[in-house]
Structure 1
């Protein structure tokens, strides 16, 4: 917001708009102001000094210390709602629409706004939403709309939709199968003993290894302990199985 219009060019302000007169020592120009204060580095002048300059071009006689102070002063700005206060350095201007007010008024209005804010309960707007495709109810704090094409509902409708979502979720979750009782369980049939085709398939030379096929015994092979099961199989504690046909070949290597 500009404090005034250069009198050397034009002056669109009416007598009702003008509240002060300012002099810019750097530009050597005078202007009207719509507020009682002037923007730095401008300094306030009287109406007579302003009219004298516009009529004769004679600049006002200003105190040097007053001009120096104007160059270092800050702007005290407030928005039209009176809710946002800020200061700017001398080479800046308040944002468009905001007011540049004297420091004492700025501090007073800021204190009043802070006190009012502290005593006024803050209300946060919440959007209550319903997704009909997935049947999901959700809230959006500090929002006025729902996501995409989801339906906005009232706060009173929301609990009913939450219950509907819960029922939909429960229906979609499969129930665990009931555990069978011991009386209902049927005993498993014993697996038939595997056939022993080894001896008929490949004769084995007589030796101590052949006897292992006839009765259970312990066998160490490559660091694994195999125990015969009496049916031509040797099973290690680690679960490795050595069939009798494998054993017959091992027996050939071991010899009599």
Structure 2
């Protein structure tokens, strides 16, 4: 399998002159997500943790409802890309066939290839549960995540998605050149390791667009913490899905937009 980092020569041009450099750059390859022999999506992704990516894509897109509906995952490398081949149970395969959704898109596009506008804004499950997080845990989440990003340390060119437990610990992290892919990988890793997404929060190094809310809702995670801004549509979807959305989480603070009851802020003006 291709390595996720490549050493590439270049010339660094600065005010004091120029010099030859050898940079570690993030690799990206086309990854075909294949269900029961049929390609459902082709995404540009980092070539690592692809079993997690496959499982997380299936869960986050609502293709399967449970990890045990994926009977097998095999990653197959070809000359021009990689296939993540999945075998679904008969009930999941039938539901996928009826859904008729196909996606082909670059890393920055989470909804390319849908065949109707109705599929863009899908009905989401409503999340509840008893999860509570402290103000300190949420405020420090993105900084804590930063300590678990080896690909970013090498390349300065990847996103990360991490899982914050109720005690404020980053328990699991996945990285990718695409923010959607990083979240898919995290969802898959949680499912494959038996960690309940409802027991903590997902922490993102990116802005929050609507498809990330959709993925979190289908995965069953009630809290999303991001270093950057949400879109207005993402906020409306989070509110409808019962998801607590904290954004601009950096510098010891954050903005709280929806379902704030899960965050113990201690402030009287947040209910």
State whether TM-score is above 0.5.
Answer: no
Q: Decide which structure has greater helix share.
A: 2
Greater relative contact order structure (CA < 8 Å, 6+ sep): 2
Q: Tell me the TM-score normalised to structure 2 length.
A: 0.17
Q: Decide which structure has greater strand share.
A: 2
Please identify the structure whose Cα radius of gyration is greater.
1
Q: Tell me the TM-score normalised to structure 1 length.
A: 0.18
